[in-house]
Homo-oligomer: A and B are copies of this chain.
């Protein structure tokens, strides 16, 4: 029997799926983060080993697991230098004697790609369409029937990430401070941030953001405050959400214009935490995009990214 591994390595967790050649999921394992650029090679290797171990645990009781292909979809991986590093990781995994599996990998059976690609394949169930991935960051990635791909965004929290949780949170704090110092209309955001963060004054944001040096994830986690204010009808909060939606529609339109055509029948899958909003961000996005491209169908993910990775791995064994 053919076994393949699909690995989704991200900044908060690693997911591994064990799949057979009938597309059946035989196991699924989770572990800690594996964004090696932040946490280092050793910790990444540890997370991947744990995720693989947890994924194969059940299956090895009945069968010897011989892995014939593996696909790793990792955040921020795209450049040649990154791919070389990840190839090294795969080699380490193969050398690891404690993983209860055997390996039968040819170079062609090792797929290393960006996390957006596996999110697209997992989300749609096939490698054609567009993924609009909007969590802490944002990236829009598409692939057409001819295999041409197009990426828009994904430039990170300083240079881009329009529409992301980080950007929504920062825009919310900026709007609250502008309202506080008189540049903007009154907004519930001031009270919302104060209450949520247990502040005496909205000026205490300075203390938290700069002196305690909150990181990107911590700041992004404040996006629901803006979401909730928007859902409650706050005008400034709704302007922030509308702006985020506009940026995401623009980015998605750019992918459609590049590799599809305006009247393509096409699925667009939305992934990431931002879409779980109370203020109907998903509905706003869908309405605006379908208005521009009537034959586009916006969907929620059918499967998770690690499943997409497993499908990609499997493909290499069937060529």
Interface residues of A (CB under 8 A from B): 37, 79, 150-153, 155-156, 158-160, 170, 173-174, 177-178, 181-183, 203, 205-206, 209-211, 219, 250-251, 254, 257-258
Q: How far is the CB of A143 from chain B (nearest CB, A)?
A: 16
| Chain B, Cβ-Cβ closest to A210 | B156
| Interchain CB contact under 8 A, B206 and A156 | yes
| Interchain CB contact under 8 A, A210 and B158 | yes
| Interchain CB contact under 8 A, B182 and A254 | yes
Residues of chain B lying within 8 A (CB to CB) of residue A150: 182
Picked from B37, B160, B170, B211, the residue with its CB within 8 Å of the CB of A177 is B160
| Interchain CB contact under 8 A, A209 and B250 | no
Picked from B37, B156, B206, the residue with its CB within 8 Å of the CB of A209 is B156
| Interchain CB contact under 8 A, B177 and A155 | yes
Q: How far is the CB of A184 from chain B (nearest CB, A)?
A: 9
| Chain B, Cβ-Cβ closest to A81 | B207
Residues of chain B lying within 8 A (CB to CB) of residue A205: 155, 159
| Interchain CB contact under 8 A, A182 and B37 | no
Given the known inter-chain contacts A183-B254, A254-B183, please indicate yes or no for A174 contacting B152, CB distance below 8 A.
Answer: no
| Interchain CB contact under 8 A, A158 and B183 | no
Bound complex: CA of A155 vs CA of B205, how far in Å? Answer: 9
Bound complex: CA of A155 vs CA of B170, how far in Å? Answer: 12
Residues of chain B lying within 8 A (CB to CB) of residue A173: 159
| Chain B, Cβ-Cβ closest to A207 | B79
Residues of chain B lying within 8 A (CB to CB) of residue A79: 203
Interface-central residue, A37, A155, A210, A219, by most chain B CB under 10 Å: A155
| Interchain CB contact under 8 A, B37 and A181 | no
Bound complex: CA of A182 vs CA of B158, how far in Å? Answer: 19
Residues of chain B lying within 8 A (CB to CB) of residue A37: 211
Residues of chain B lying within 8 A (CB to CB) of residue A250: 183
| Interchain CB contact under 8 A, A170 and B159 | yes
Q: List 22 A-B contacts (CB under 8 A).
A: A79-B203, A152-B181, A152-B183, A155-B174, A155-B177, A155-B205, A155-B206, A156-B206, A156-B209, A158-B170, A158-B210, A158-B219, A159-B170, A159-B173, A159-B174, A159-B177, A159-B205, A159-B209, A160-B174, A181-B254, A182-B254, A183-B251
Residues of chain B lying within 8 A (CB to CB) of residue A210: 156, 158
Q: How far is the CB of A78 from chain B (nearest CB, A)?
A: 9
